[in-house]
Amino acid sequence: MSTPSNVQIEADTLLRRNTLAIVMGGGAGTRLFPLTENRAKPAVPLAGKYRIVDIPISNCINSGLRQVYVLTQYNSASLNRHLARTYRFDNFTRGFVEVLAAQQTPDGERWYQGTADAVRQNLRYFLEGDYDYFLILSGDQLYRMDYRTLMRQHVATNADLTIATIPVDAQAAPGFGIMHSDENSRIYEFVEKPKDPEVLDKLRIPPSTLKKLGLPENEAHFQASMGIYLFRRDVLIECLDNTFNDFGKHIIPATIKNKRVHNFNFQGYWEDIGTIRNFFDANLDLCRMVPQFDFFESSAPIFTHARFLPATKINGATIRGALIADGSVLTDAHIETAVIGLRARIEPGTTIRDCIIMGADYYAGAVGTDPTRPAPGIGRNCRIERAIIDKNVHIGDNVVITPEGKPDNMDGENFYIRDGIICIPKDAIIPSGTWI
């Protein structure tokens, strides 16, 4: 491993001090409903003990960035609470992690109309600091990136805007903003979610670039936008001096025409977890022997709220391929490919297969909880398959929850099915003997 030069260290320090990170919290999060029914999308639990927002914020901290705003407008109470409890910097640094929620002001009374509009409505706050660069990040992706590498390339190429991209195949390309760049990484064409095969064919990554990326030269790949943008200060101000609402649809295509826009090729694991299907698959992938995303990476940890819970207690269970978070109690259960969240309680005879069990915010009988409400947890002799059980759910004895024989999408009493996955909403009560 090469040792960084003094010039590189000085440049990294300057970039870290002069860069503001902006995490896009998203809108109503309809693609993740019902997990976003009572919480903002960045606050959705992930991997048993984390929240989605912990991913971009941890990437920032591991990259030396300590100034972070999170933009949100829907159901932001739990997100505010999580950020306030988790990310506290000392009084001798400039570090902060704060939520900026949509608000009525003398300049406007609208909700955020898109990603660009959200940044525009808060631009006066961002410009109060002496930041030279603004790093705009998506709040619903699972990946690990050292942003310093992107920032170094941005400075080295003298770019006005750098867009992080990831190679995707022809099947996935119509779902992304696709761009074409030359051998010097300068982007000269951008198409948002191209559907026309002829247009798509012209956007293929050329063989010379594929070779540099270590990809097969005989296969079609495309540079897909990751929704990660690094702007120079003056360029961001100029780009938002209009009424355009979205970066991908409006700002980026217009900027390419008259600014130096470069792409940063990212080749690690990356997954959009903004839909129920992607969220479900990404979580269960963590249960594999060697998952695609590794939470055990000690050099770049994912941070979250420290809860000081007791270790999980297992009273005779059969477990194969599972993540089990702190404070849980499992008794004579069979668990196969499942993510078990904080304070989960699973009683004897229950089978959990291909599930995300988010656990609970409290234990039964905790001070301040409703004494008449059934305790969170899963009762005896239940069978639960291909399901997401949200927090604080009470499931009685002899309950069956399975998508077998049901439509891929439907709404029922106390449950929803999305993409063939059953979702039990937060705080639901499923009586004993129920068959879903």
In-domain check, residue 384 = yes
pLDDT in the model for residue 218: 74
Same domain, 407 and 334: yes
Q: Among the listed ranges 78-92, 154-168, 264-278, which one has the minimum average pLDDT value?
A: 78-92
pLDDT in the model for residue 67: 93
Residue 281 corresponds to which tokens in the numbers above?
A: 């698959």
Q: How many domains does the chain have?
A: 2
Amino acid, res. 112: Y
Same domain, 239 and 135: yes
In-domain check, residue 295 = no
In-domain check, residue 292 = no
**Residue-range definition of the domain harbouring residue 164:** 6-285
Give percent above pLDDT 90 in the chain.
56
Count H helices and E strands in the chain, helices first.
11, 27
Domain's final residue, options 249, 266, 285: 285
Enclosing H/E stretch for 224 = strand 221-232
CATH number of domain containing 233 = 3.90.550.10
pLDDT in the model for residue 267: 86
Reported as half-sphere exposure (CB side, CA atoms, 13 A), residue 203 has a value of 29
Which is more confidently placed, 113 or 347?
A: 347
Residue 3 has pLDDT above 70, yes or no: no
Distance of alpha carbon 332 from alpha carbon 355, whole angstroms: 17
Asked whether the CA dihedral 272, 277, 280, 281 is positive or negative, the reply is negative
| pLDDT digit string, tens, across residues 253-292 | 889 988 999 999 998 899 989 899 999 999 999 999 999 9
Q: How confident is the model at residue 84 (pLDDT cuts 50, 70, 90)?
A: confident
What is the DSSP code string of 11-77?
Answer: HHHHHHHTEEEEEE--SS-GGGTTTTSSS-GGGSEETTTEETTHHHHHHHHHTT--EEEEEE-SS-H
In-domain check, residue 355 = yes
Q: DSSP code of 240?
A: T
83-92, 211-220, 304-313 — most confident range: 304-313
Which is more confidently placed, 368 or 109?
A: 368
CATH number of domain containing 422 = 2.160.10.10
Same domain, 214 and 328: no
Domain's final residue, options 270, 285, 300: 285
| pLDDT digit string, tens, across residues 350-396 | 999 999 999 999 988 787 788 889 999 999 999 999 999 999 999 99
| pLDDT digit string, tens, across residues 305-317 | 999 999 999 998 9
